[in-house]
Amino acid sequence: MGGSRLWRNRLQRGFIMKVRIEDTCTACGLCVDTCPEVFEMGDDIAQVIVDLVPAEHEDAAQQAAEECPVEAIIVE
């Protein structure tokens, strides 16, 4: 019971996911289309625009990571 309460508190705080983009990114833009709240196109490659992924965007950020054609999105 204590464990599930802790888990719920972490979810409510909403900062349990971090993402970063490696320089193998090919700037295809897919992650920006999938989750524009977290990813944005930079000058050369995509970039992450939040320090911590808000809970409501975690699914989309995870999906973007899985769909990245070169696996350049690292979920931490």
Q: Side-chain half-sphere of 16: how many Cα atoms within 13 Å?
A: 14
In the complex, minimum distance from the CB of residue 26 to ligand SF4, in angstroms, rounded to a whole number: 4
| Residue 13 vs 59, nearer CB to ligand SF4 | 59
* Six-digit token string for 10: 């972490």
* Six-digit token string for 47: 């970039």
In the complex, minimum distance from the CB of residue 22 to ligand SF4, in angstroms, rounded to a whole number: 8
Chain contacts with ligand SF4 (rule: CB under 6 A): 21, 25-31, 45-46, 68-70, 72-73
Phi-psi region of 27 (alpha: psi -120 to 50; beta: other; left: phi over 0): left
In the complex, minimum distance from the CB of residue 13 to ligand SF4, in angstroms, rounded to a whole number: 26
